[in-house]
Amino acid sequence: MRFMMIVLPKGYESAPADAMPSPEAVGAMDRYNAELMKAGVVLSMEGLHPPSTGVRVTFKDGKPILRDGPFAEAKEVVGGFWLIEVKSRDEAIAWAKKIPGDESMTVEVRQVQEWEDFTPEVQAAAPNEPAIREALEKKRRKA
């Protein structure tokens, strides 16, 4: 089972474009990341630049509308994530509990919706999906 552990740092919605975590926080995350690697559960992990560097694309009448960040209405924003593969939801939660966070961090744990989770009707509407997923898996194995 794959799960995403999504980091929602408090205050990141208004962070300046050049915001950086402290060396201490990065060191603690590095040790945690090494633990994930040693256990063989991490598939991907990334930190994201603040929303002030981003752009949002919304759609009206099928046409894209672009809006540069920061996004004043945002209450929570994603600061980064880990994608892990574990045996159960409980195991994913156990890994999330080991994250070296503090009171300024919330981590949301969500299961990845696998192709097999979709109904046959939904699968039929996406005939390219199996080949795309297979190609992505091959690409991941090569990396």
pLDDT per position as a tens digit, 128-143: 999 999 999 899 888 7
Each residue's pLDDT tens digit, 16-32:
999 999 999 999 999 99
Q: Tokens in use for 60?
A: 């009206």
Q: How far apart are CA 75 and CA 130, in angstroms?
A: 36
Which of 31, 9, 4, 32 lies closest to 20, judged by CA?
Answer: 9
DSSP letter for 101, please: -
Query: If you average pLDDT over every residue of the chain, what do you get?
Result: 95
Q: How sure is the predictor about 43, in pLDDT bands with cuts at 50, 70 and 90? A: very high
* First-to-last C-alpha distance (Å) of the chain: 21
What pLDDT score does 72 carry? 80
Predicted confidence at residue 16, as pLDDT, reads 93
Give the CA distances from residue 72 to residues 49, 66, 68, 106, 129, in Å, rounded to whole numbers and listed in that order: 16, 15, 11, 20, 36
Which residues sit opposite 4 in a β-bridge?
A: 83, 110
In the structure, what pLDDT confidence band is assigned to residue 73 with cuts at 50, 70 and 90? confident
3 token code pair: 């799960």
pLDDT digits (tens, 9 = 90+) for 96-115: 999 999 999 999 999 999 99
Burial class (CB in 10 A: 0-12, 13-18, 19+), 3: buried
Residues written for the chain:
143
Distances (CA, A) of 94 to 16, 87, 107: 32, 11, 12
CB 2 within 8 A of CB 84: yes
